[in-house]
Structure 1
Amino acid sequence: MSSPRSPEGPRRGSPAKSPSLPRSPEPTEPPAAPAAPAAPAPTAEAQVPPMAEIPFEDESGDSGVEGYDDDAASSTASLSESIYDYRQIHGRTFQHSKTTEYWGPNDDRQNNGLDISHHFITMLLGDQLYEAPIKEPPTRVMDVGTGTGIWAIDMADMFPSAEIIGTDISPIQPTWVPPNCIFHIEDAQLEWTYPPEHFDFIHIRALYGSISDWSELYKQAFTTMKPGGWIEDFEFNITLMSDVPEVRDDPKHIFKRWSEVFTEAGERMGRTLLIGTGGQMRKLMQEAGFINVVEKNYKVPSGKWSSDPVLKEIGAYNLAFLDESLEGFALFMLKEIMDWDYIEVQVFVSEMRKAINNPKIRPYYILTNVFARKPEAWE
């Protein structure tokens, strides 16, 4: 889920196609499109080698940081007034649909954090929008759970001849977008409204805690994808960690308590927050029929404690993302699902915020990216 307001500034384009959406940022000149990823495709199912340790500085420092066809189109779920009927929880707004009460707010504060996460994920992937080794420029791309649309917009800038469709349950995308970018209100847990073998590339990011049946999600992606097309899913891990013994070996540390309560909340909702762990995405993609499945795990610092200059910058943005987003993560899950008092939630969030801002304990978490290919008909 991501936001249209990237750190580079808002995008310029034409009004988004149906359905119309609420925000209309002023257009500015777009940045240069990023280069496409390297082309060679893996020839066998593989998993990358173990992650390297993050180098760190001994001294403490500041860890903060300031031709979609008419038939398909007509079958797309239409926008209705009920979509704007947001839930209010202590001043934060939340979207819901027929099958999904999404746990994250859809307000500007949460979107600011998502802007930042898009930026550091792009840096993490080597200044690329994806890792799947796509050989030819795609013609149709779908971003499932596009959020506020920044990834779809960047892809539209990168591939101006391709049609980029972003889907989401929440109409928070901008109205000024590249002419080849379209946003549709669609619930990914319902039957997809797109024809079989339609997309070259299907992108998913940060749907942890949103999907009740991941196997079905990947099967629908498989059906909707052209033979030879690629899927990519980038998911977060809710468990923060530290290699410092007093944190690592303390079963009551806030990092462990945070992970435990959110894991339980996900189980109560029937929507796991742990999809990025234990090779689950890789396994379910294989079961759905995908081949050449590759899993990549990234050890991402929280804060500027790494001595590696790239990881230092990524860590600074990651910390800003977490700082901006912690209350949004906790409010629905803990208050509505776990039945905590509002004050109790705020105290818990405050304790977590203090820990992630402590460079002496060198906090980090694991991000997992999995990409895979649909076989050609003759394979």
Structure 2
Amino acid sequence: MTSIPDTLHHQLITTLCYYILPVTVGASAAEGEEENYAAASVPAVLMMIFQYTDNSAFHCELLECLMALKADIVKDLLCVIAYGTPTSRPPAANLLFYYWPNLNPTLYDRRGVHIKFSDISSVLKAMFNKSAQAAKSDSISQTANSDSGESKNPKGWKPLVCQIEECDGDGTSEAVKVCHDHAVCLGACPDNPPPLYICIDCVEDIKREHSTVEFFDILMPMAQVSATCENKNCRSSEKNAIATCFSMECASYNGNKPIRYCTQCNNIRHNNRRGTDHVVHTTIGSPWAMDPQMQNYTIEAIVRLKAYLQKRAAYLVAMVCGLLWVCVHQHQIHLSRCWDVS
């Protein structure tokens, strides 16, 4: 991306999110393997985008695309925070606290977590950049941490517009459906390769000529990350959201946007009888229940951030304390067994 001008960054992100990643990261792994090569390369893709563009809209678009394809994307974010370049770590940390707001318990007194409440990328950039002046860092910190302040980066991202040139929306209608039929795609829009992303009006026009063609819904951007359950029929007394589902089956109840669930609703929607194929992102679990790689990423990420995030990292610091206690406890058990043998 170093040789690509900024004006082409949007086209590059669009190509990644709508044409490349869905058929690579979303592809099934080979027999006997846990993930395919593309899925294993996600941390490198994230680091490259975070490194060469500071547009938060592109960051959100890329991450939401990957969150719909990969259930353990939080591990990739922690990997970037732990081992990424100094420029790529701040956006990764910003997105971690934005899409997993339970890491910051002080946000639960608000209905939703907008990106302006968690856009700490400018602060972290100044902190990671050792050459930044202290006065400038303080000024940036005050601006980014203000609830009413506006970040210099764009907020959120917008979905694709309809790709049909003759669309009645004159290039303003949002694409809500996707078509994978090559004949229909090339017939309706010869200049764009399949798949074809189109608005609802153009879908109806195509159906009149091709009644058997199947169209699929696409996910819309998350306007905000809700701190409470978004299930309209939620009956739980504890409505704090702990999971985000990116499956279209669940998103259809939320205007085709990823939906946030409380513990009770998440257990109802996702269990061994239903929702087994849904891509659900839950809170970061107990450290001693993590796999070794996840534990390593978590510890390294905390080492990188604990001096800078203070209150935001309190939960992660507690996790590390738990990890250290387990390690010490296991070490004591091992020593006691050695003494018994001797």
**The TM-score by the shorter chain falls in which range?**
under 0.3
> Which has a greater percent of strand?
1
Instruction: Give the TM-score normalised by the residue count of structure 2.
Output: 0.26
Bigger radius of gyration among the two: 2
